[in-house]
Amino acid sequence: MDVYHVPVLLKECLSGMNIKPDGDYVDATFGGGGHSREILNQLKNGRLFSFDQDNDVSGNVINDKRFFFIMHNFRFLKNFLTYYKVDKVDGILADLGVSSHDFDIAERGFSFRFDSNLDMRMNRQTEKDAGFILNNYSEEKLGKIFREYGEISNSQKLSSAIIASRAKNQIKTTSQLLEIIKPCIPKKIENKYLAKLYMSLRIEVNNEIEVLKEFLSASLDVLKSGARLVVVTYHSLEDRLVKNFMRSGNFEGVIEKDFYGNILTPFRLINSKVIVPGDEELQLNPRSRSAKLRIAEKI
């Protein structure tokens, strides 16, 4: 049996959540259910509310009366907790990575390893996919996405090549895209460059930055005093947002102080230094190499 997804930093995440057997918890990114199953193992009469917008995860749903699966984006965290008459929770976990399953299924379009349609939608009910972006966005907008989300240095050259090519034929597949941008790819770092390109498109397709901001703001509203927020990030943009939010309560990282010079923040940092996978985990799961774990407790 294939493993849907290997949960990253599992032991560290569970330890960071400081689980109470009778508490209410949220797994904002259910995926293969690895984190959720371990949370349930530590609950007695507590409850777990898990979110995922990807239809492919339905086969992983756990049959347990303490478990509530919500087939929606975690940006709607507060709405659905209200629906279940839950005002506050004791902890929230979010692993922001794309599941191994999605990377390994060619038709999902998340990986440049396969020749497939340019999709990349987490929720396949939405209309805008990567192909739409490549064929319809302006040169300026494409360049901004590649520069800001992928941190691609020659973003202008890249967007110009795409615009010139699509004027002749629509860009529909991975192989087409790779052929078009071949002159833009620096030698010796081809895979790294393509990973950045695909990441930038995926972020735009799924509106990941705005979704993360909405989720973090909602988390602050629904966490009890003393409850933990545990977040695993995989690229600098989302890690910066999480870091700033946990330290200051805002996304810009602006530290506010009271009249006496005391820092005003809604959180207490549990780990001031980011937690990363150890050598053993990296060997077992190389895809965890970019993972960064941050933990904060609501004051």
pLDDT at 3 over 70: no
Q: Which domains does the chain have, with CATH numbers?
A: 10-100+208-298 (3.40.50.150), 124-205 (1.10.150.170)
CA distances from 40 to 17, 36, 163, 229 (A): 12, 6, 50, 17
Contact yes or no for 130/202 (Cβ under 8 A): yes
pLDDT at 99: 87
**In this model, does residue 29 exceed pLDDT 80?**
yes
Average pLDDT rounded to a whole number, residues 93-99: 94
pLDDT confidence band for 1 (50 / 70 / 90)? very low
pLDDT higher than 90, residue 292: yes
Residue 172 pLDDT exceeds 50: yes
37 contacts: CB under 8 Å, gap ≥ 6: 62
pLDDT above 70 as % of the chain: 99
Does residue 100 have a pLDDT over 90? no
pLDDT, position 205: 98
Nearest residue to 298 via CA among 215, 229, 214, 212:
229
Give the other-Cβ count within 10 Å of 275's Cβ: 19
* Residue of 123, 109, 4 whose CA lies nearest to 53: 123
Q: Say what the pTM is.
A: 0.94
Model pLDDT for residues 204-261, shown as the tens digit of each residue: 999 999 999 999 999 999 999 999 999 999 999 999 999 999 999 999 999 999 999 9
